[in-house]
Structure 1
């Protein structure tokens, strides 16, 4: 897709504050000096067995892109695709009920949507939010001296894949569902109050992939401390069994030539940091003198596993894993 997009002309407009050139989480279009629209769309195949939970996760995943830009969700359009005659009405109702639940929790509304015939079940949202143009987050604003804070543990990709194979304990699946369905609203609000201007959410490209994107977009180097990254309980054992989804394997193949790995970091941990996440946490670049405050406030607000995982240094877009 990157090759295809590189062959198309870009859009240049004085009010297009964030477009596709930095592969950020959402587009941002300025309306006036005080308001800018945050625009995003995301669609998932079933990530949870329970249709209500699937709807919750699909909504939280889409809403997260607005939070990753420092915005507040206003309205959403729901997109639902399914094979005709294979999905019963009650299942569809429960999926949409899960979507509605999370959109309401976000303080937004579902303004409409679209259904389409598809070969497999899919659900997602196009979300519209607002942000002050001078207070938005982007993945291109990291500065040397910043400290990186991650707000959710990793492991949703490998747990959901193991669950499909019947090899994940019920308590692991329950935690993954809880993490994936948790909104990033509180984390984004605290980050904004503490002056954060650089952020992204950790989703399909895994922690290392999204970190590399931030380093590239910001023109800096990033050093991650592998053993400080929060992980969901039990995922290391699943990693030893190589139960990673295909997306995580592709992430590792992509990043291994673009990052420097310390020999002391075991292969399983390298792979877990490439695990493709769904509705993952925010990766925040926090000014060094405010990192302890940010983590303390996050934990006090219920973002219990927020942790400092690395730092930003002058450089050219490299990632090092210690």
Structure 2
């Protein structure tokens, strides 16, 4: 084994031992065997075989290796280990960080660090007209640059309902904010009523999850605390509206009261759905839920508010 490979293996084994020093001895041995078997087949296959032999699941070993971070990425002479690291990132991007079904289950209570609880309210905003079936999510106040493209996953042209998951507090937990307080957790465009069996990150053309680092994701930026869904063919309509100051003052007032609004355009076949972002400005990912037959069921823009909660409570 070349010295660079030995050093790479040493980094991985050291990381594993550090993470599992309190009891995962079998998992460590599995990874060691994987690194030994690797040159005979491939390092990736060897690690997975060795891990599973000693009781560490392939998914768990991949996640563990992904957390090794800098040590693995510095192994320029170890493409197999870098490939394993990229694959672990892909696995992470195949599922959203929160339970989206719970997020859209009206009446679900979430606990917060200050001891208070919020209740989920689900609110229908309107039906989005997707004339081409190509969806865009973006900040409506920004010019639409050519770099902003519709998602690669498309749906048949039609009208699709958009609903919001809203956290409701009877008594505002934030000083200076009136009660009740309502903040948007997520926006969902529903394509069908089929149950979701898998999730994946929505991507634009040219975006590849295997090129991402551990702390990265693909999303869209928001500067004004508001985001929107629109059809790819409505970008020209949105651009025209961006110069109408009175329109945006009126829209802002509606969103402040109702959390979202359906905005008509000069084309009766097109509209735009706008919604407030519970965490304000930032960058937000969109997730695609798929049915058992792999057809898209929904697109969900996660606005990250509930990431700061303690999670749902049973009563």
Same fold (TM over 0.5): no
Compare the two structures and name the one with the higher helix fraction. 1
Which protein, 1 or 2, shows the higher relative CO under an 8 Å CA cutoff with sep ≥ 6? 1
Larger radius of gyration: 2
